[in-house]
Amino acid sequence: SKNVTTHSLDYYFTGVTPGIKTPEFTAVGCVDGLQGGFYDSNVKEVVLTADWIKDDDDVEHWTLQELEAQSFEDLYKFELPHLMKLFNQTGGIHTWQRKFGCELHDDGSITGYSQYAYDGEDFIRLDLNTVSWIAANDKAVIIKQEWDQTPTAFNQKNFLENDCILCTKKYVDVGKATLEGKVRPKVFLYQRDSSEVVCHATGFFPKALMISWQKNGEDLHEDVDLRETLPNLDDTFQKKSILTVSPEELDKHNYTCIVQHISLEKEMVLQVNNHRVTVLLVVVVIFVWKKKQPGKRRNASNFNMLKLSSDC
């Protein structure tokens, strides 16, 4: 439902082989999709980048985050060469990435995830229900066997369901003026080619938004490509859904795009017809250009925020 509030805390770790300009280890994280800060192996400290978190004067908390980040850096500098050795790789550029996080819902329910990628491809993920590892490919089976002999899965589950949730509450409380704000989406219809109609919502906050289609008043699920939600540069988000439909079908039937968001008193319903779609292609081009102009919602950096342990 569009009226359910969900708060989230997510982290992104990246380890790369030495010898290039990129830091060997980077940790970034986000609260509700917005950056708070980062750590990398060059800076060696947690850098808070978002205005809404800079006011947090909990020195003890951020000192612990720094120590935790440094320990993860050490771990990644061990794990990446270990993986290369397992795969008989003696050189080249390789990456070891992890993304993990938790969500807290209004009804008190929680969800979490932890997954890894090697050289940009899905590698292994945690199944929170069975507290075990699921290998994404044959190469990952040997790591699954290694990790199944350790308490890693239980430790991560414990973090995601306890410490992560506590810290989500802490950060949302610190940044409530920003994180509990609501910005209405702007929604546009345009045609990408003769058989694709795009319903594009942009400029909204918070991140959760639903786009659906109807044909003659009935829900439509076939030939629909719902894309993932992406960040804008002004700490808002965008999302699009693409309907594949022939011009003949478009003329013959009544198609509508429906957008639901917590900022809206009622759902937005946009009628699709050939005339409107063509006109809005021009509007979208103008809008994209205008989004680059001043007057942004708040200052933003590229990514996210950092919290690694249990002092919340």
Give me the numbers of helices (H) and strands (E) for the chain, helices first please. 8, 17
What stretches of the chain show up as alpha helix (H) in DSSP? 51-54, 59-86, 141-147, 152-158, 164-174, 176-179, 247-252, 274-290
* Parallel/antiparallel/unpaired status of strands 47-48 and 95-105: unpaired
Cα–Cα distance between 230 and 237 in angstroms, integer? 6
- How distant is the alpha carbon of residue 189 from its chain centre? 24
pLDDT at residue number 194 = 81
* Parallel/antiparallel/unpaired status of strands 132-135 and 121-127: antiparallel
pLDDT at residue number 5 = 73
Structure tokens at 153: 């899965």
pLDDT at residue number 72 = 95
Other beta carbons less than 10 A from residue 286's beta carbon: 9
User: By the 8 A CB rule, do 174 and 52 touch?
Assistant: yes
Cβ-based burial of 223 (10 A; exposed 0-12, middle 13-18, buried ≥19): middle
pLDDT at residue number 57 = 85
Cα–Cα distance between 311 and 230 in angstroms, integer? 31
Phi and psi at residue 69, in whole multiples of 5°? Answer: -60, -40
Domains and CATH numbers, the chain: 6-179 (3.30.500.10), 186-290 (2.60.40.10)
How far is residue 7 from each of residues 88, 165, 180, 234, 294, measured CA to CA in Å?
Answer: 42, 9, 9, 19, 28
pTM: 0.80
- How distant is the alpha carbon of residue 177 from its chain centre? 21
Cβ-based burial of 167 (10 A; exposed 0-12, middle 13-18, buried ≥19): buried
pLDDT at residue number 21 = 86
What stretches of 101-151 show up as alpha helix (H) in DSSP? 141-147
Mean pLDDT (10-residue bins), the chain, 312 residues: 75 93 94 94 93 88 93 94 93 95 93 97 97 96 95 97 95 91 94 89 95 95 95 94 93 94 94 58 43 40 34 56
Structure tokens at 252: 């013959």
pLDDT at residue number 287 = 44
The DSSP output letter for 291 is T
Cα–Cα distance between 312 and 306 in angstroms, integer? 13
pLDDT at residue number 281 = 42
Cα–Cα distance between 41 and 81 in angstroms, integer? 16
Cβ-based burial of 6 (10 A; exposed 0-12, middle 13-18, buried ≥19): middle
Length of the chain: 312
pLDDT at residue number 54 = 87
